Amino acid sequence: MGNPIVHFEIRSTDPVAGRVFYGELFGWAFNDAPPEHVDGYGYIDSQNDRTTIHGGMSSLQGGNPMVTVYAEVDDIHTALAKAVELGATIVQEPYDVPNVTIGLFADPQGNVVGVAQPRR
């Protein structure tokens, strides 16, 4: 069975303006994340009864503006090692946020994708 997409992020040079833009465009609301997250991080609330992928908006966190998706994995270190073996480069080493460890890699074409290992 494949790994599901479990989260998406929008990293922005101005997350406050991004909240306004996406709120107006899509009707999204934003909830501030716990203080353990990056400054300005907000969870996206799609204001919809349908099941949607969880998302967040944040500052750049040392990188470039981007939109990325996160696939759930059983072992983040194994997944990142396999990505590198297949030609990817690590963009962000694994780090812990509440309930999950996440990391980012760039595929051989430069697309940034995340992996997420839930803490169970």
Which mean pLDDT values do the consecutive 10-residue runs of the chain (120 residues) have? 90 89 92 71 84 85 88 96 96 92 94 92
Tell me, what's the pLDDT at 76? 97
pLDDT of 38 reads 66
d(CA 102, CA 118): 9
The confidence score (pLDDT) of residue 101 equals 96
- Rounded Cα distance, 51 and 34, in Å: 23
C-alpha closest to that of 41 among 110, 102, 115: 102
Residue range 5-118, CATH number: 3.10.180.10
pLDDT of residue 21: 93
Predicted confidence at residue 58, as pLDDT, reads: 87
Q: What pLDDT was estimated at residue 89?
A: 97
Rg (CA), the chain: 14
The pLDDT value recorded for residue 36 is: 64
Tokens of 69: 């998706």
Q: Which residues contact 74 (CB under 8 A, 6 or more apart)?
A: 117
Residue 17 CB contacts under 8 Å (≥ 6 apart), including other chains: none
Tokens read off for 1: 């069975």
Task: Report pLDDT for 35.
Answer: 65
Global pTM? 0.83
